[in-house]
Structure 1
């Protein structure tokens, strides 16, 4: 991350990470809270390792990371990943048409398994076909690999089609709660056809 990007992120979330000093200790600054969190996210280092680097207690580190991640999502999501509107879907369709020569495509859907330690009492729900425990990041991306919509937290044991259909985004699409472009004729034809999502294993979902 560049210094400019860091300063911009700090200017947005920093005021919400400010804490007051007490008689017993000096509050950890918003800059240090953000540094700790970004270091943890970028490297996957343990709290024990971060404790040695930042001289902050392990339990305090855990609270800082969770709280800062919440603030980043709350205040950056509307800026970096707003809910897609019809204009955004049409931009995605234009990209697939011009780059991949695929008309009426508004997004590519896929999932990524994020390795985790087995949550206590979870049984085999997080155990995936790759033989490790995971949660799944499901995304809809445009032709430039930019995320249009995301869903995080599905069990690793679930298949892509099941995860998508039961995700919040999937339910909204199937219930016509997502504002998608109206059907449009394919090049050289007259009959309007719906826009679609494409993926390897969820073709039955790829309709509007």
Structure 2
């Protein structure tokens, strides 16, 4: 029931609620938001997954079982600087990691193949060397030229 409900919500509200850029100007607008609001340059989104606890569907075995001891389905989302969704993937089983889910998305394949309309590189403010635009994610995601990790926290 959760999966069908999520699909119905996506079908109904996708066009008005999720705005994924497809042009260099659209991505630069998102990057400008990260620069203006967070002083984080050349960033096109932040990505993370959220495990949503649920009762296991019948006869699914451990398919939805998360290693933390409960069954779940995963919401993987990319957001802009104002926390607005620009990409969402819902319904992966809880046994799958965030990075594993992202590896199988159309958006990730488009990023790898340079088909998402992203400008390849631009210089940081006050510099003449160009760097790629990138996505910020936590340690669950690997490093790529278009994906970085935040600095480690020293208060832990």
Q: TM-score, normalised by structure 2?
A: 0.79
SS in 2 for 1:114: strand
Which residue is 1:207 aligned to?
A: 146
Which residue is 2:11 aligned to?
A: 74
The equivalent position to 1:129 in structure 2, one of 60, 63, 67, is 67
SS in 2 for 1:84: coil
Structure 1 segments of 4+ aligned residues over 4 angstroms from their partners: 66-69
Tell me which protein shows more strand as a share of its residues.
2
Moved more, 168-177 or 149-158: 168-177
Q: Counterparts in 2 of 1:54-93, with a 5 A limit?
A: 70=8, 72-86=9-23, 87-93=25-31
Deviations 1:45-88 (A, max 9, x none): xxxxxxxxxxxxxxxxx8xxx58963x53343122224422333
**1:205 CA drift (Å):** 4.2
**CA distance, structure 1, for counterparts of residue 69 and residue 5 of structure 2:** 31
**1:133 CA drift (Å):** 0.6
Q: Counterparts in 2 of 1:9-88, with a 5 A limit?
A: 70=8, 72-86=9-23, 87-88=25-26
Q: Which runs of 5+ in 1 are unaligned?
A: 1-61
Give the structure, 1 or 2, with the largest relative contact order (CA under 8 Å, sep 6 or more): 2
Residue 176 (1) aligns with residue 114 (2): yes
Cα distance change on mapping 1:73 and 1:161 into 2, 3 Å: closer
How many residue pairs were aligned? 143
Q: Is the 8 A contact 1:165 1:205 kept in 2?
A: no
Which residue is 1:143 aligned to?
A: 81
SS in 1 for 2:108: helix
Tell me which protein shows more helix as a share of its residues.
1
Which residue is 2:37 aligned to?
A: 99
Which residue is 2:152 aligned to?
A: none
**CA distance, structure 1, for counterparts of residue 10 and residue 97 of structure 2:** 26
SS in 2 for 1:97: helix
Q: Mark the structure with the bigger radius of gyration.
A: 1
